[in-house]
Structure 1
Amino acid sequence: MELKREVGLLWQQFKALLVKNLLLSWRNKRATFLQLFASLVFILLLFCIDRATRSMNYGTTAYKSVTDPLVSFYPSIPPCEDKLYIKFPCFDFLWSGNDSFRVRNIVRSIMANNPGRAIPSSKVMSFTTKEEVDEWILNNQNRVPGALHFRETNATFISYGLQINSTVATKRGHFEDPTFKFQIPFQVAAEREVARSVIGDSNFGWVVGFKEFAHPARETFSALSTIGPAFFLAFAMFGFVLQISSLVAEKELRLRQSMSMMGLYESAYWLSWITWEGILSLVSSLLLILFGMMFQFDFFKKNNFAVVFLVFFLFQLCMTGLAFMLSAFVSKSTSANTVGFSLFIIGFLTQIVTLVGFPYKKQFSRIIRNVWSLYPPNLLAAAVDLLVQATATPEDAGISWSRRDKCSLDDTECVITINDVYIWLISTFFVWLVLAIYFDNVIPNASGVRKSVFYFLMPGYWTGKGGNKVEEGGICSCSASVSEQEHTIPDDEDVLEEESIIKKDAREGTIDPSVAVQIRGLVKTYAGTRDIGCGKCKKTSPYHALKGLWMNFSEDQLFCLLGPNGAGKTTAINCLTGITPVTSGDALIYGYSIRSSVGMSKIQRLIGVCPQVISLLLYLNEHMCAHLHGAFFKW
């Protein structure tokens, strides 16, 4: 059977891992479905909140663009029962100046000539002075919409004043404008009857039309602008938690370690995860936009499709990089929910601060903005706010692809554009990815294996060459500091002779070509423990599993390790295959050192290990381990 190498092996491992991710997602169909279609639930919630907000303002034209207002003729004084929050019994209006006969006639004419209905005397109350009116209103709040104050100076001059409750009232979506509903009808009625009284013609025509001033629409409350970022963040957290959980589970169950034993390329591992999560992010972002369009949000309809898509796709991709990095610090998959919830709370709070304006205004320094932009939810909030502002009114056309790198014309505090958000999301994705790979290598795995802190400075890591010498050591070693085991001279002459031969080879730097594996004083010591409780300190001594093993494995020969339980057989195999870090000593497998990260990578691609977890019921081509090891199948 042929074994693939280099690029061919990398491609085969990538395909095998991608199929693995696909199968795992299919087996966990509920979580995958939730990750892809959770956006529908959040879009539906946003739709309900948005429609509830709109229904509160449907009775006013303040949030509509009015270019040619309608003219209102013959405004009528409405009955007091039409006023919102009025208390009963109520009055249509009050008036003062009843000590004047002429004023009394004017008020009677207002009541009789009210368009549409005559006002009965029981719905009007008169006073002599304004002070009396004020006192009555103070003692009887919300029982009358307004009052008229008349004063007769002479036969040709009668003045009047209006006293209106100008508080704008809304109730269950009904908007009450006191100016057009009460003030103007009172004003027209008073002026009409005063004019008729002064000129002495009770049938004098008085036709006056009123209309509101043309105006653009005001920016209304936007559910997408205020709570949209938090909803979009919550939607992305489903994939974020699943990603961390999957990565940590592979480490926790030592599946990642098993794949590494089969010669897994680190690049193939990360590339497969990036590709798979990129596909899920692509699909979920498309579904999010389609659901937004389905519910007729201007945010999704007016802004360019590619502009909106890249915001959500790059954000989810950036969160994937952050998940990769954080997974290196999490040891149990059950902790993924806690990590996800904690980041959501932090993101929710920082998004609120971002929407207030911090730090994306000119008054804040660039350094603060750069640090703030490292956290992906902050960039999402800034991008959503820009897209919402571009569709705030019916006349706004949204952000086109050609204007993605330009600020709004009326935004004098603009320091970040949609294009800047793209650049930041892509940059931070690579920052998190690089940190994820670094921490994944330097933080010990479940077996305590890790690379040197400065492993990336070693040429062999990049070139793949070398590996025949121990390159790690000192404080940057992958082994822990434990007490050394005193060397004991073997009693068996054959064992002593082989030890002498191996030591000579080590001193001279040579090795017999017929030797496949040479073990040079392999030592594995497990550090003791110290338990403190109930005022007592219990300390256990270090356990020496291997006490200096010296032996050669000849090529093309069957070699068996025999011994009772606890003799160190499994420990020796684990050290040779990279499962367990070595305390001291070394071993060369086909000339590559197990104490070198480059050497161990090459060893794992050369040797074959059959762990007990692999079932014998599967054919070779059905084992993912065979694909990772480079097995090439001819059918």
Structure 2
Amino acid sequence: MDNVGDRRTELNATFRTQANALLRKNVVYQKRKRRTNCCIVLAPIFFCLILLLLQIAVNSALNSADNRCGCKCLTCCTKQNGVDICHDNTADNPCRPGVFDSCKVTDDTQCGLQYSSGSQASYCAVANPSSWPPFLQVPEPEYRAQPARPATTSLYTAQDRTTGEALAQQLFAGGADPASVAAAQVALQASSNAAGVQGEGFTLLGLTLGTPATAANRMYVESAFINATGVYNMVPDCASDTSTAQLNTLLAGTGLTGQNNFTCTAAQTVWSANASAIDGVLYCGWKDARCNATTNAPIINAYDTSYDFLDTGAGKFRLAMYLNDTNIGNPAASRGPEDPNRIQKPVNQAVNAFLVYALGTKYKAQLLAIMDFPKLANKLRLDFSSLLGPIFYCWLAQLLLPVMMVSLVYEKEKSLRIMMKMHGLGDGAYWAIQYAWFLMLYIIYIFVLIAFGSLIDLKFFRLSDYGLQIVFYLLWGNCLIAFAFLASTFFRNTKTAVVSSFLYVFGTGLLGSLLLETFFDQDVWWVNIVEIIPAFALYRGLYEFAQYAFRGSYQNATGLTFARLSDHKNGMPVVLIIMAVEWLVFLPLAWYLEKVIDSSTGVRQSPLFFLERWRKSRAVGAAGPSGSQTPASASTELSASAVQKDAGKADSLLINVESADVREERLRVEELGASPEGQSIIVQDLRKVYPGQDGNPDKLAVKGLSMAVARGECFGLLGPNGAGKSTSISMLVGLLEPTSGTARIEGCDIRSDMPAIYNMMGVCPQHDLLWEQLTAREHLHFYGRLKNVKGPQLAAAVDASLRSVNLFNGGVGDKQVRQYSGGMKRRLSVAISLIGAPLVVYLDEPSTGLDPASRRNLWDVVKNAKKERGIILTTHSMEEAEVLCDRLGIFVDGQLVCVGNPRELTARYGGYLVFTIMTANEDVAKADAFVRQLAPTAKRTYGVGGTQKYELPTSEVSLSSVFAGMERAKQQFQVLDWGVAHATLEEVFIKFAKSIGAEGGN
């Protein structure tokens, strides 16, 4: 027993040993798939090149004359009667923009604003930008708030209402005195003589100008002067206004085009109780707020910039401003560059109002003009990679999901996972190594994607902060791997898993592009719930990268950075949190589902299996030592098994009486419950019932199996197909959960100690479970390491195993298994079951498909392996059973019907001699009469022509009487040939199985 205990310790491989074995196997396996792995890793290069080509094609299409700064025209043409009439650009016959259709030849060395059309001007270099008067952003007249419409309304509040009212009266106060008008005339005259049009002269009048037009992206041209929406002169009362006419007079001499005149607009201020009231009124004035309408069209009540003067006093100025920013400066409103807000003039108004309030009317800080920075010439650019970024990179970032699913589901579908588990590989080591491999593959994949995308200057990668990209993609990679483990628990078929994965990847990308982007822009609250689906969280993160990269490309700025995560409506922080949480949730959830879902990785456990240890501890505490009961104790009450079957018209109960040898075996098992010394396998009343379906009764596959296998013994299970042999083996090796009863393998219970049993178990399954790309030597190295065999001992054990099954010579053991015949695979499966000298071995029809020589050699291997271990063997070869098995058990209709060694069974159930006689056809009747004289109850089993075969009961005849009788028979009729022999095991088995099967209604 001490030796067995030492062997159990030696076979108990640590987590590190198991992980090392699986890692080495996976490395070799992946080397054989290097082409596939290289294609996977290099896939981002292929797709990035496609994006680059599309980017080049789009930029080439956009690189037209209208999309760059204009150049001096050398030759221009116009159509006359459908014919192009062209001429050179000369002083006598100049090219006139707008008259001729096109310019055929340009001088690319002379480009600038003076040669550009309106569409070309924005692309020109501006070395000395013009200055423009600051404008107040006001609503369109038809949308201004009631009841002042068409006048504009600004709301205001303050902690001290008197102070607030005094400040509000100065917001639009001012006027055009003679001195300011003279100064404006001088300024405008100077600007008309300059190269650029400058409008600060209007501001010198001391009035407030407003426009419904938004500010241009860059203030090289003031959009108010070229926009048809007009310019408004904001005064307290238009009835007494005299400055608007003066403005129009000044405008006529400036050369400004696109705006014929200034329009007077009254601007009033209205007190509000507090800042919250201002905020609510401004929001309800928005077109989509629907505060003022439910079923009808929304009512728009738009207000001008509003003010909260807070605790402003004589020596203190504090200000908060409110404006509707829905379509101005809103990054989510457009993928293009942001429009700047017109906030300079409102701030200047409030400052001037405070100066007048605090110091008097002589003090003002007038904002004269706004000027942009100088700029270089540019061209129209469309960052196509960012425009397509979310959907394209969403597909690309999930491309490894089908790859992971193939790896995980394939090993379950082909039963390789359970094969590894039955040889001692724990779930923890399997998950750790698979996770590490997936993560390594993903990191290489993403590194290639980011590196190559940056190398070819895709703005999606170049403009985004690389640190943020690393955090995002690492979180996504771990979330994706965890999701793959979770999703794999629901699949058993590789093709189904792969197709479902591709549909998931493709479908989520399309839904994100066609549906979710709209809600991202609107920032609706339930989008965060939708992002719980991992692919949608990925899409939102990529969408944020793309938005910032697209705008950054226009603005020559950076994309998304850590500092911008706090931007309004930026969904990246929520995405990062969701990915991190799902990573931590998916892994334990996948582990739990694998335990409770029948996923071909072992016995399915109860949904509350994690509470079993707690329940057991409470049960032991309640029952105490005397309260325990072995699983076999229940079986002592029965000496027969009952089975209910459907007879078509009525149900009947059939009782199969237990034979003496089976009863003796069961009683022996019960006695061994207290002292199982020397026993390797003890099976106690093992039962398996499959629930009936569609109204059919339950199927009793195994009906109370009790047996014991000693160390050094090979126990053979014989029986017809469907008798329950494989079901019994499946329960012993942990593939199926017993309905009742149990078994102890070297003292460990199969219901609670299967991980320990796996460490000391070897299995040769009925069907070969092998990796086609690995060699026999690599298989044996892997399973040998799982049995804790290392170093030189492992190499020697592998060589010995290959020699024992004739896979060593000629380098056969170093060939991939896919090149093996069926017999070679079978021999390798037997070698795997015996590598590492396990304490228990299950051989399920090990010699199937072998030629006679290989079968004989395999028998020698099994006989030599019996020492100090228990072996259970199933076979359909009676010769194999007689050679290998110390004891046999015949299994029929789900139950053990007889037990004993081959000679005992032959003697006990084969109590007859097989007698064959061959005579002439006319002597057949004489021969039959002669046999009846020898044995009155003889049974003829075969008769063709003059050849007849009989079964002679040994109770009536003996070999000597048969020989003596044949001497007399030869004198009575012609005997051509004859023979007599004891019944073989195969004949006994067939006859016995038929009789029991008939009784059982088989």
| Same fold, TM-score > 0.5, yes or no | yes
| AA of the residue aligned to 1:80 | T
Indicate how the Cα distance of structure 1 residues 118 and 593 shifts in structure 2: closer, same or farther if over 3 A, else same. Answer: same
| AA of the residue aligned to 1:414 | N
The SS at the match of 2:718 is: coil
Partner of 2:588: 434
Deviation at 1:413? Answer: 2.7
| Residue 48 (str. 1) matches residue 202 (str. 2) | no
| Residue 519 (str. 1) matches residue 678 (str. 2) | no
Contact 2:387 2:546 in 1 (8 A): no
Partner of 1:277: 438
Partner of 2:738: 582
The SS at the match of 1:331 is: coil
Structure 1: how far apart are the matches of 2:599 and 2:337?
58
Structure 1: how far apart are the matches of 2:532 and 2:616?
28
Partner of 2:983: none
Structure 2: how far apart are the matches of 1:370 and 1:607?
50
| Residue 450 (str. 1) matches residue 610 (str. 2) | no
Partner of 1:292: 453
The SS at the match of 1:561 is: strand
Deviation at 1:618? Answer: 4.9
Identity, in percent, stands at 23
Deviation at 1:8? Answer: 5.9
Partner of 2:511: 350
Contact 1:311 1:380 in 2 (8 A): no
Larger deviation, residues 383-392 vs 331-340: 383-392
* Among candidates 784, 787, 806, match of residue 629 of structure 1: 787
Deviation at 1:441? Answer: 1.8
* Among candidates 707, 716, 726, match of residue 551 of structure 1: 707
Indicate how the Cα distance of structure 1 residues 36 and 207 shifts in structure 2: closer, same or farther if over 3 A, else same. Answer: same
Partner of 2:539: 381
| AA of the residue aligned to 2:659 | D
Deviation at 1:578? Answer: 0.9
Partner of 1:18: 23
* Among candidates 80, 92, 103, match of residue 78 of structure 2: 80
| Residue 310 (str. 1) matches residue 471 (str. 2) | yes
Matches within 5 A, 1:109-188: 116=91, 118=93, 145=98, 178-179=117-118
Q: How many residues align?
A: 497
The SS at the match of 1:118 is: coil
| AA of the residue aligned to 1:495 | V
| AA of the residue aligned to 1:565 | P
Partner of 1:565: 720
Contact 1:226 1:355 in 2 (8 A): no
Contact 2:18 2:786 in 1 (8 A): yes
* Among candidates 419, 423, 429, match of residue 258 of structure 1: 419
Contact 2:552 2:558 in 1 (8 A): no
> What is the CA deviation profile of residues 126-146 of structure 1, one whole-angstrom value per residue up to 9, with x for unaligned ones?
xxxxxxxxxxxxxxxxxx946
Structure 2: how far apart are the matches of 1:58 and 1:215?
23
* Among candidates 471, 478, 486, match of residue 325 of structure 1: 486
Deviation at 1:264? Answer: 1.6
Indicate how the Cα distance of structure 1 residues 443 and 180 shifts in structure 2: closer, same or farther if over 3 A, else same. Answer: closer
> What is the CA deviation profile of residues 169-222 of structure 1, one whole-angstrom value per residue up to 9, with x for unaligned ones?
xxxxxxx9753789xxxxxxxxxxxxxxxxxxxxxxx99856996389947643
Partner of 2:857: none
Structure 1: how far apart are the matches of 2:398 and 2:557?
31
Structure 2: how far apart are the matches of 1:340 and 1:45?
23
Structure 2: how far apart are the matches of 1:426 and 1:586?
43
Deviation at 1:372? Answer: 2.0
Indicate how the Cα distance of structure 1 residues 288 and 484 shifts in structure 2: closer, same or farther if over 3 A, else same. Answer: farther
Deviation at 1:483? Answer: 8.3
Structure 1: how far apart are the matches of 2:219 and 2:66?
11
Structure 2: how far apart are the matches of 1:628 and 1:591?
21
The SS at the match of 2:443 is: helix
Indicate how the Cα distance of structure 1 residues 513 and 396 shifts in structure 2: closer, same or farther if over 3 A, else same. Answer: farther
| AA of the residue aligned to 1:42 | F
Deviation at 1:558? Answer: 0.8
Partner of 2:409: 248
Structure 2: how far apart are the matches of 1:11 and 1:460?
29
Contact 1:526 1:545 in 2 (8 A): yes
Indicate how the Cα distance of structure 1 residues 456 and 58 shifts in structure 2: closer, same or farther if over 3 A, else same. Answer: farther
* Among candidates 435, 440, 462, match of residue 301 of structure 1: 462
Partner of 2:660: 493
| AA of the residue aligned to 2:24 | V
Structure 1: how far apart are the matches of 2:452 and 2:395?
16
Structure 1: how far apart are the matches of 2:48 and 2:439?
22
Structure 1: how far apart are the matches of 2:443 and 2:427?
24
Larger deviation, residues 275-284 vs 352-361: 352-361
Indicate how the Cα distance of structure 1 residues 571 and 360 shifts in structure 2: closer, same or farther if over 3 A, else same. Answer: same
* Among candidates 530, 539, 559, match of residue 372 of structure 1: 530
| AA of the residue aligned to 1:435 | L
Structure 2: how far apart are the matches of 1:457 and 1:87?
94
Indicate how the Cα distance of structure 1 residues 223 and 6 shifts in structure 2: closer, same or farther if over 3 A, else same. Answer: farther
Contact 1:526 1:542 in 2 (8 A): yes
| AA of the residue aligned to 1:179 | G
Indicate how the Cα distance of structure 1 residues 345 and 462 shifts in structure 2: closer, same or farther if over 3 A, else same. Answer: farther
Structure 1: how far apart are the matches of 2:31 and 2:450?
24
Q: Which runs of 5+ in 1 are unaligned?
A: 93-110, 124-143, 148-163, 166-175, 183-205, 472-481, 531-538
Contact 2:391 2:510 in 1 (8 A): no
| AA of the residue aligned to 2:471 | L
The SS at the match of 1:519 is: strand
Contact 2:12 2:756 in 1 (8 A): no
| AA of the residue aligned to 1:384 | L
The SS at the match of 1:233 is: helix
Q: Which runs of 5+ in 2 are unaligned?
A: 1-5, 103-114, 122-191, 198-217, 223-335, 339-380, 621-627, 632-641, 646-652, 794-1002
| AA of the residue aligned to 1:17 | L
Partner of 2:577: 423
Q: RMSD in angstroms over aligned alpha carbons?
A: 4.6
Contact 1:237 1:344 in 2 (8 A): yes
| AA of the residue aligned to 2:594 | D
Contact 2:77 2:84 in 1 (8 A): no
TM (norm. structure 1) is 0.66
Contact 1:390 1:396 in 2 (8 A): no
Deviation at 1:118? Answer: 1.6
Contact 2:464 2:558 in 1 (8 A): yes
The SS at the match of 1:407 is: helix
Partner of 2:298: none
Deviation at 1:287? Answer: 0.6
The SS at the match of 1:390 is: helix
| Residue 393 (str. 1) matches residue 555 (str. 2) | no
Structure with higher strand content: 2
Deviation at 1:605? Answer: 1.9
Structure 2: how far apart are the matches of 1:117 and 1:469?
120
Indicate how the Cα distance of structure 1 residues 43 and 619 shifts in structure 2: closer, same or farther if over 3 A, else same. Answer: closer
Structure 2: how far apart are the matches of 1:315 and 1:18?
24
Partner of 1:103: none
Indicate how the Cα distance of structure 1 residues 235 and 7 shifts in structure 2: closer, same or farther if over 3 A, else same. Answer: farther
